[in-house]
Amino acid sequence: MLSFYLLLTGVGLILLLQTWRFFRKYFKNKTILKKIRGPPETPIFGHMYIFTQDPDLLFSRIRKYSREYYPIFRFSALYVDIVNFLEPNDIELILSTTKHLSKSKIYTFLNNWLGTGLLTSTGAKWHQRRKILTPAFHFNILQQFLNIFNDETEKLVLRLGEDCGRTIDVVPPVTNFTLQSIAETAMGLSNINELTQKEYKKAIYKIGHIFLKRLSKPWYRLDAIYNYSKLAEEENATVKILHDFSNGIISEREKERTTNLSQNLASYSKKKRMAMLDLLLAAKNEGADIDYEGIREEVDTFMFEGHDTTSMAISFILLTLANLQDVQTKVREEILSVVGKEKIPTYNDLQELKYTERCIKETLRLFPSVPFISRYASEDFVTKTGYTIPEGTVLHIHIFDLHRNAEIYPDPLKFDPDRFLPEKVNERHPFAYIPFSAGPRNCIGQKFAFLELKTVLCGILRKFKLEKVDDMYEIEFRPDLVLRPKNDVKVRIEKL
């Protein structure tokens, strides 16, 4: 009995010591971070009111704080401290190193869906997955993908042709295009059932809403509370739809791969580079540290990132060109000059579309598909703006505000593709433009995205004239996993 009480006392002392250490570090860090300006805060709850108000206003509210407290500002909510970065020198300190690679707590809200794939993993697992997947975006693979991009572009053009003379929301047909394109290229799946595709897209939108709801209610950060909520039930049902979709893709591709291997088809020769899903299946069969669940993590990650970010990028490019007829004319003239009116564009043709590429980059400056990223500080560091950031602080990097910074981009709302002339780029800080993030954890698929974007512009602008309906500067955004408009992205389609 005495030994039991001694054990109980020992455990109690250890817990007391751990609690004391936690609060000592917490108050020390709080004192350090108080030097960074931020919105007015309440006792104990800090800035929690910002996140618990109408979530639809969160996007515009953050933009307001970014203007008021540039170049750095702070949020605090109970035990969480967040520092928001807007200045490229400070952003470089975070992204250019391998020290702060870990994503912050908010990404764990996606773990039920994405697991710990390339987007959310860290440490050895992230390095291993990146190593496996990097060959999937090799130059030779991208050249093979171009045939698929051209075929899917032709289908999109036919679909848009049905709406000539009408005003349409470009997001639905463009999303169909990007979803089918990523399925065929990275997954090797030639056709997705239309009903299944529709259910998947609805589930993607729904999971974004669930993510935002959880983010706006601090008590839902605690799994012990969240797991028994109605919202968690809704999430589990939505995730099942998403997982059924990805498991179906894996199963279908593995059957095809097994058949082709048994027939010794050349497309599965080890000398030929393989697409992403084939690489993952091959790695598993060759004994790499990845199982079916790990493969599904990456399929979920790339199906989402490979279609949703790209569909919004294309939609905003079409909106921009509809607003700026002179720019649209120049892009069309370059395409006709380099590619011609009927020729199917080659990889080399697309590399010669220099003005078109600058227009894409300028659109991604104004409308970055991923408007912010978040990391943990893995150690104490001092910013270029002179503030100490303690280990464990959440680091938010606001790409949207960085790209619209008047100190970096004079007259920032003006659409000016010449900002991306080589001499202009060389004058800017290398971390002043990061639509695909930057540093060791940059987006693995950025060359894939540019190839797809150029291909679809070739197809659309050789057939149609885009006319303005919505003003590109009056589009309102809502918080989501990607930069998403509150309403439709409307354009009028006219045949040339």
Known binding-site residues for heme equal 443
What stretch of H or E contains 494?
Answer: strand 490-495
* Contact call for residues 97 and 439 (beta carbons, < 8 A): yes
Of 434, 485, 477, which is closest to residue 85 (Cα–Cα)? 434
71, two tokens: 């170049």
Torsion angle of the four alpha carbons 169, 170, 173, 175, in this order, in degrees rounded to the nearest 10? -110
DSSP codes joined into one string, 21-58: HHHHHHHHHHHHHTTS--S--BTTTBTHHHHHS-GGGH
Q: Binding-site residues, please?
A: 443
The vertex-246 CA angle with 305 and 137, nearest 5°, equals 45
Q: What count of other Cβ atoms lies within 10 Å of the Cβ of residue 240?
A: 12
Q: How far apart are CA 342 and CA 426, in angstroms?
A: 36
User: Which is nearest to 154 in space by CA: 452, 457, 459, 453?
Assistant: 459
Distance CA 261, CA 445 (A): 27
Phi and psi at 81, nearest 5°, equal -115, 130
Residue type for position 278: D
Joined together, the tokens standing for residue 154 give 């032709």
Which residue intervals of 217-353 are DSSP H helices? 223-226, 230-262, 276-285, 292-304, 310-323, 325-338, 347-351
**What's the farthest any 2 CA atoms get from each other in the chain?**
91
Strand partners, 376: 394
What is the spatial distance between Cα 118 and Cα 115, in angstroms, rounded to a whole number? 9
